[in-house]
Amino acid sequence: MSGDTTDRSTDDVLDELFAVVEDRKTNLPEDSYTASLFTHEKGENAVLEKLGEETTELVLAAKDDDHDELVHESADIVYHLLVLLSMKDVDIDELRAELAERR
């Protein structure tokens, strides 16, 4: 890890990102890519297509054993997944609870 992420847990980062996504959904700033996904003419298909593309890129990165690309594509997927969850009114705590139940 590097930079200012060293003193923040992964959980904090995800919570903060989800809070930003929820804020963009409510306030829809014009210059925000996240907001543009909520208002896209394709509706939820815009984020679903993005998740499909990113997943293909993730698979290719894994097949190529490209460590850095794998991390990059994973982050893209997590971000777009959080947008999808917000779009469908699923709270990140529901995801957390689902994962915790599997332990």
Ligand X SMILES: N=c1c2ncn([C@@H]3O[C@H](COP(=O)(O)OP(=O)(O)OP(=O)(O)O)[C@@H](O)[C@H]3O)c2ncn1[C@@H]1O[C@H](COP(=O)(O)O)[C@@H](O)[C@H]1O
Residue of 55, 58, 76, 90 interacting with ligand X (CB under 6 A) = 76
What 23-32 contacts at long range (C-beta under 8 Å, 24+ apart), as own/partner pairs, is 25/86, 25/87
Of 97, 102, 83, residue with least CA distance to 19: 83
Query: What residues between 16 and 75 interact with ligand X by CB under 6 A?
Result: 17, 20, 24, 32-34
Minimum distance, C-beta of residue 103 to ligand X, in the bound complex (Å): 27
The answer to whether residue 14 forms part of the interface with ligand X (CB under 6 A) is: no
Cα(103)–Cα(18) distance, integer angstroms: 23
User: Where on the chain is the footprint of ligand X (CB under 6 A)?
Assistant: 17, 20, 24, 32-34, 76, 79
